[in-house]
Structure 1
Amino acid sequence: MTETVDERRAADTGCPDCGTALTGGGAYVAWCAGCGWNTDPGATEEAPPAGRIDRVRRRLAHRYGEQLFADLTANGESGESGESGENAGRAGRGRSGWLATCLALAVHGLTLALLGGGIAMVVAGQGLVPVLGALPILVALVLRPRLGSLRKTAAHLPVLRRTDAPELFGLLDDVAAAVGTTGVEAVVVDADVNASVRTYGIRRQRVLTVGLGLWETLSPQERVVLLGHEFGHYAHGDTRHALVVSTAFQSLDTWSYTLAPQPSESLLDDLTNLATALPRMAVDGVAGLLDHLTLRGAQRAEYLADEAAARAGGSQAAAALMDRLLSADAVAGVLRREAVAARTRRTGARSEDAAEGLWQRLAAQAGAVPASEYERLRRVAELRGHSVDSTHPPTHLRHRLLAAGTFAPRIVLDAERAARVDAELGDARRTLARELLRG
């Protein structure tokens, strides 16, 4: 890659600590690859996790991620484990998974008890008792398990079905088969720098959400890996995302929100906070225990999904995807700047529609990131213990495990097929670009 003037200046400047020529410069941080000087200049700007539970969750996530990494590398699972999806999923549940399911059932049992008790008060009570019975019924209805609705979740987003995008769904089916599962019924397209799979409704409809902020920055083979990772969650299972446990987390979140202490502005606020203190502590305790029981399994599921992704798209592309995830914040920043520029641009200052070429510009900027910047981001991730969220292992460990793998891709997405898939996403790309820049 041709060096810019600023990069050449950085290379000609010595590190103030060890004298080694600096790396980077220009649009990227100038840092020392020798001693690590200025590797993470924004370390003090990182906001700590909000709340005690989040802080504990982060610590546990980092600890479990390191333990599982050591276990997987010791067992030779970085590239040749050969563990089937069904067996891996069963192994990932274990005693903690079953205990988590029992605890989740107890949470739902409380909701049913409230509903049953309220109905009994209404039916059999006298005087004010039937009126008071409406309260536990109302609470039970608020806490009821919600199965989700694709229509509500994606009300204002493009949703693709098989008839809309046969080439895309053909690719999804191929990747799903490569990791040992089945495809999805729908694809939701949004502008986020992310991708995810969810299951909706009584029929448990599988839905893939593709964020163009991430998708457009990936090479065709990295896209195969991304899909392989998402489908890997279905193939290997994850207690945390099972119906009973996931809905229990929803109920506990509702309890936490309802019982959250109010600002102390009056005697009534103080009395209310005092009355809810014990229930709030109980809810926090149950939520923390459910977190503890499911977090290690969730992180193992992520490692196994990474392995599934490497099997589908190849170890090299899988490691490259981890680098892309490390630069996700920078990509999101580019999208924000594009949106601000489009809203503040004077009429006639630019002849073409700002939305035209948005995703190409994003891809071009992502593609211009030098290898040295990815190396710096990996070091920053190690220093900060970076992870996508508390259910994901540290990103630098995921990268290290994938980089050590030797999987050849089972599915090769050539340029011609990738172009056909892109064409089917064309309308969604234009719609989301216009909406993003319009605000």
Structure 2
Amino acid sequence: MSVGISVGAVGETTQPCPQCGAEVRADGRFTAWCAGCDWNVDPERPAAQEPGRLERRRRRLAQRHGERLAAEVAAGGTLRPRRDAEGVAAHLIALAVHGVTVALAAGAVWFLVTGWGGAGMVLGVVLALLAWTLRPRFSELPDDRPLLGRADAPALFALVDEVAAVVGTRGVDTIAVGAELNASVTTYGIRGRRLLTIGLPLWEILTPQERIAVLGHELGHYSNGDTRHGLIIGNALRSLATWRYFVAPTPNPTAVEAVVNLVLLVPRALLQGLLMLLDRLTLRATQRAEYLADSAAARAGSTEAAASVMNRFLVLDSAETMLRREANARQVSRRGTTAGQEPWQGLWERLGAHMASVPESEYERQRRAAALRGHSVDTTHPPTHLRHRCLLTGPPLPAAVTTDASTESRITTELAEPRRTMAKHILKHGLDH
């Protein structure tokens, strides 16, 4: 028996659901699915291998933390940054890891000084190289994207400062403009200067109020106790991962290598245990930090704008597909451009028009798919449906920060050159991740 598919408006198809028989109306550009029985709601769900026992435990723990935090908010509780027993234990472990690195450096100095001209020199050099490899790292400014200082973009920095004041922190020292569908904050240099990275493809598909909500979310990470990416714990996780690399078993070993693998079995297990313990101790704080950042987004841009941003993130795959299609077309030919117009011109306007045409049914499908996936994809972030629910719990917050047409025009002018640069970059190299 064949299933009939009829075509209505341009790009729209109608067919019966093969699972429940209900009528399925779909935009031909997006996945057809049934709102009645959820048939085909998540065909792209990662078909990864069955996770191991440890990964299953990690996912269950992440789910429990995420749901408990969501329940706290639903019950009228207020999430605040806090230093609990888990946080203290995580810092103690991290300091012990760094203590080992310091001991290696001290040992290297001792052997180099006392073993001058002897075998101690060799051991000292080895310890020095090991300590150098394990040393805490300070991020540096990226050199592959436009960087803006306060003199370059005074209106944008003024907006960032205003949002920062609302969420209880200070502004940033530098703004980087990237080609990713994301935004992020970090620190760089030994003095811990602040860097905000704005992915221009994301910035271009947001409304002015949604942009303020995104800034509120990212700046909120500076003040909400997100320890996993901090200098102490973040570097300890990196050091432990480096140690684990050093003692990793040799594949297809010879007889001697097999003996070495066996000798390193216990250190390898200890390092894996420490990594798992540190990950577990910081998992709840990391999820709490996301909820707190969402709260900061709502305070700065309004609850409505923060919730709207989450909906935008649900369909970012569509934006990525459109931009990749533009880049592929650019590689094949220059067709579709008018005389005297470069291919990159109008890219952001075409992206905005594409995202404005995404039907509500695709947003709903992605919301349901996100709920089905839960923590199976990303255990460090609470699932989007829980974050969305928490945002809408309680009375909606008005926007504490708004912009007028004049401010938006000045910011657009300040970003004019990065807009050109990133449009050319995307058409030539694709998207950054």
Distance in 2 between residues matched to 1:212 and 1:372, nearest whole Å = 26
Q: Is the CA contact 1:387–1:395 (under 8 Å) kept in the aligned structure 2? A: no
Aligned partner of 1:285 in structure 2 is 273
> Which of 213, 230, 239 is the equivalent residue of 2:227?
239
Letter in 2 for 1:106: A
Q: Is the CA contact 1:115–1:137 (under 8 Å) kept in the aligned structure 2? A: yes
Aligned partner of 1:47 in structure 2 is 48
Matches within 5 A, 1:407-426: 407-426=397-416
Aligned partner of 2:388 in structure 1 is 399
> Which of 139, 142, 145 is the equivalent residue of 1:148?
139
> Which of 5, 9, 26 is the equivalent residue of 1:4?
9
Q: Is the CA contact 2:307–2:391 (under 8 Å) kept in the aligned structure 1? A: yes
Does residue 9 of structure 2 align to residue 18 of structure 1?
no
- CA deviation map 1:246-296 (0-9, x unaligned): 111121222233333333164454344334332222221111111111110
Distance in 2 between residues matched to 1:422 and 1:55, nearest whole Å = 46
Distance in 2 between residues matched to 1:332 and 1:348, nearest whole Å = 20
Q: Which has the higher helix share?
A: 1
Q: Is the CA contact 1:162–1:186 (under 8 Å) kept in the aligned structure 2? A: yes
Distance in 2 between residues matched to 1:51 and 1:258, nearest whole Å = 23
Q: Is the CA contact 2:167–2:216 (under 8 Å) kept in the aligned structure 1? A: yes
Q: Is the CA contact 1:4–1:26 (under 8 Å) kept in the aligned structure 2? A: no
Aligned partner of 1:136 in structure 2 is 127
- Structure 1 residues 56, 201: CA separation in 2 closer, same or farther (over 3 Å shift)? farther
Q: Is the CA contact 1:199–1:206 (under 8 Å) kept in the aligned structure 2? A: yes
Q: Is the CA contact 1:220–1:415 (under 8 Å) kept in the aligned structure 2? A: no
Structure 2 residue ranges without an equivalent (≥5): 1-7
Deviation at 1:57, TM superposition (A): 4.1
Aligned partner of 1:208 in structure 2 is 196
Question: Number of residue pairs matched?
Answer: 419
Deviation at 1:348, TM superposition (A): 9.4
The answer to which of 214-223 and 352-361 deviates more is 352-361
Distance in 2 between residues matched to 1:66 and 1:348, nearest whole Å = 49
Q: Is the CA contact 2:303–2:392 (under 8 Å) kept in the aligned structure 1? A: yes
Distance in 1 between residues matched to 2:288 and 2:417, nearest whole Å = 37
Q: SS state of the match for residue 111, structure 1? A: helix
- Structure 1 residues 348, 317: CA separation in 2 closer, same or farther (over 3 Å shift)? closer
Q: Is the CA contact 1:23–1:372 (under 8 Å) kept in the aligned structure 2? A: no
Q: SS state of the match for residue 26, structure 2? A: coil
Q: SS state of the match for residue 184, structure 2? A: strand
Q: Is the CA contact 2:220–2:296 (under 8 Å) kept in the aligned structure 1? A: yes
- Structure 1 residues 54, 136: CA separation in 2 closer, same or farther (over 3 Å shift)? farther
- Structure 1 residues 269, 331: CA separation in 2 closer, same or farther (over 3 Å shift)? farther
Q: Is the CA contact 2:146–2:176 (under 8 Å) kept in the aligned structure 1? A: yes
Distance in 1 between residues matched to 2:406 and 2:304, nearest whole Å = 21
Q: Is the CA contact 2:73–2:393 (under 8 Å) kept in the aligned structure 1? A: no
Deviation at 1:21, TM superposition (A): 2.4
Deviation at 1:142, TM superposition (A): 0.4
Does residue 382 of structure 2 align to residue 380 of structure 1?
no
Letter in 2 for 1:135: V
Does residue 35 of structure 2 align to residue 33 of structure 1?
yes
Indicate the percent of aligned positions where both proteins have the same amino acid: 50
Does residue 97 of structure 2 align to residue 114 of structure 1?
no
Aligned partner of 2:215 in structure 1 is 227
Does residue 257 of structure 2 align to residue 252 of structure 1?
no
Aligned partner of 1:362 in structure 2 is 351
State TM-score, norm by structure 2. Answer: 0.90
Deviation at 1:245, TM superposition (A): 1.0
Structure 1 residue ranges without an equivalent (≥5): none
Does residue 67 of structure 2 align to residue 66 of structure 1?
yes
